[in-house]
Chain A
Amino acid sequence: MIEAINLNKNFGKLRVLNNVSFSSANGECIALIGPNGCGKTTLIKCLLGMVVPDSGTLKFKNENIANGWQYRSQIGYMPQIGRYPENMKIGQVMEMLADIRASVHQVDEDLINAFALKKLYHKRMGNLSGGTMQKVSASIAFMFNPEALILDEPTAGLDPVAAEILKEKILTEKAKGKLFLITSHILSELDDIVSHIVYMQDGSIIFYKPINELKNEVGETKLTKAIAHFMNNTTT
């Protein structure tokens, strides 16, 4: 569903993406991991059209996304830190997004209900706690039944209950054949939902493997340990 071919991006002298190529299909749940500054966020931003790559092509459902914008109606995005105009109410943000995606008739309100956000609809964004803000961001990402979801550090800032709700939701949607791209540092949280792992370092993809294969290779049952093992191997 998402395909990248030889993506390159420089910020000034700094090379952030170095010949990145990969391809992912429906139903995959990919964990995008790597140390800080490895290019994870830039890669996501390229997918979302926030950053324009210097060279290379990105395809979404076999269509080049350069200069396109319609394709984003099939993507749900949950940012790491959601910040909204402070005088907007939650209800208004939801309403506005519904306006933007007026073509979607069936709105998925599972998360809104699960987080009980409707009670807070009259609250202004400027007065919300970080956790509530994340709940809003998560709800927005799932609201319009997108085929692909990009979640940037989804569980950071969420309380355990909310994190669990979100995980459940991811599993349900994954079962429907949706593609997930999740960046995270805290791997243990994702152990049970991730199907593939992409590991990035210094702007390059070091590997892109199904989790089972990875576990077999390193012989660890726990993902964290598997990664730690791998990191140790590459650094030494």
Chain B
Amino acid sequence: MSKIIKYILLDILRNKIVVAYTLFLLAISLTVFSLEDTPQKGLLSLLNLILFIVPLVSIIFSTIYIYNSSEFIELLVSQPLKRNSIWFSLFGGLAGALTLAFIIGAGLPTLIFEHSTTGGAMVLMGALITIIFVAIAMLATVKTRDKAKGIGLAILLWLYFSLVFDGLVLFLLFQFADYPIEKVMVGVSALNPIDLGRILILLKMDVSALMGYTGAIFKDFFGTQKGYIISVIVLVLWIVLPFGYSIKKFNHKDL
């Protein structure tokens, strides 16, 4: 498996879009950290980046790359290789390259300018969100044969996770404001990896505010060691489940 992953990784790392993505992240993070008065403000701008750009680029790029590699995948399938390992290598190559791009573009500047736990949490979340959206992209491509449809689906998924889902949650919040829904909210947040990652960063960044009001519920769950570990496990599940399902589909897919 590691035989092909290396080559795929090298191929993606030389991809113009990935190089541009890295430079873009680098430019933005250097700008925010050197222009803003305080590193905290830099972190805030970076948070928006992680919640907006990173999932978008990860899912769209992965989708397009896999569609463009269909003939290459056929060639690999004709070789004495398990399908599992081919799909795994593609995933590893994409996730590895995009994570590396994120770490170089945004992670290193963050750690240099703001080497706090908040900064660390942010880099970790950015990396996890990258990998999660690669996994979701692989699920989207394996489910749709048509390239245009697949890319459309990827964009819709991104829109759903970064905007529509939160809109729905907000709507529910207003509708059920009179009921004790805090606990439900904690559960709901697990349904969107972007939300979960954001809350974990909030816990580091806005801990003082989170301690107020509903703080209780946040603190009781996310604030504890156990809650943090569970949240990270849920995020890992967001990688494992879509990817696991996609690998199952890919094993029986007609190319």
Contact = CB atoms under 8 A, between A and B. Distances in A.
Q: Do A and B come into direct contact in the complex, CB within 8 Å?
A: yes
Nearest to B65: A85
A98 B98 CA distance: 27
Interface stretch (A19-27, A71-79, A175-183, A192-200): A71-79
A18 interface: no
A2 interface: no
Given A72-B80, A84-B72, A88-B10, A52 B4 contact: no
A50 B72 contact: no
Given A11-B254, A96-B4, A100-B3, A49 B11 contact: no
A75 B12 CA distance: 28
A85 B74 contact: no
Given A51-B255, A79-B71, A84-B72, A92 B78 contact: no
B128 to A, nearest CB: 26
B77 interface: yes
A88 B78 contact: no
Nearest to A137: B75
A45 interface: yes
Nearest to A84: B72
B48 interface: no
Contacts of B245: none
Contacts of A140: 75
Given A50-B255, A92-B10, A100-B4, A85 B69 contact: yes
B44 to A, nearest CB: 35
A128 interface: no
Interface string B45-64: 00000000000000000000
A69 B87 CA distance: 14
B71 to A, nearest CB: 4
A180 to B, nearest CB: 15
Contact of A96 (B7, B68, B74): B7
B82 interface: yes
B15 interface: yes
A150 B77 CA distance: 14
Given A50-B77, A100-B80, A83 B71 contact: yes
A130 interface: no
B71 A101 contact: no
A231 interface: no
A55 interface: no
Interface residues of B, number: 25
B255 A45 contact: yes
B79 interface: yes
Nearest to A95: B7
Given A88-B11, A96-B3, A99-B3, A49 B75 contact: no
B8 interface: yes
Interface in A49-87: 49-52, 69-73, 75, 77, 79, 81-87
A101 B3 CA distance: 10
A69 B69 CA distance: 20
Contact of B79 (A45, A81, A100): A100
Given A69-B81, A85-B11, A52 B3 contact: no
Contacts of A87: 10-12, 14-15
A50 B79 contact: no
A114 interface: no
A97 interface: yes
Interface of A: 11, 45, 48-52, 69-73, 75, 77, 79, 81-88, 92-93, 95-97, 99-102, 140, 150
Given A72-B80, A85-B72, 4 more contacts: A50-B255, A84-B75, A85-B8, A100-B81
Interface of B: 3-4, 7-8, 10-12, 14-15, 68-69, 71-72, 74-75, 77-83, 252, 254-255
15 contacts: A49-B83, A50-B254, A52-B252, A72-B78, A72-B80, A75-B78, A79-B74, A83-B71, A85-B7, A87-B10, A88-B10, A92-B7, A92-B10, A97-B79, A100-B81
**Closest CB pairs A-B (n = 6):** A73-B80, A83-B71, A87-B14, A77-B78, A85-B11, A50-B255
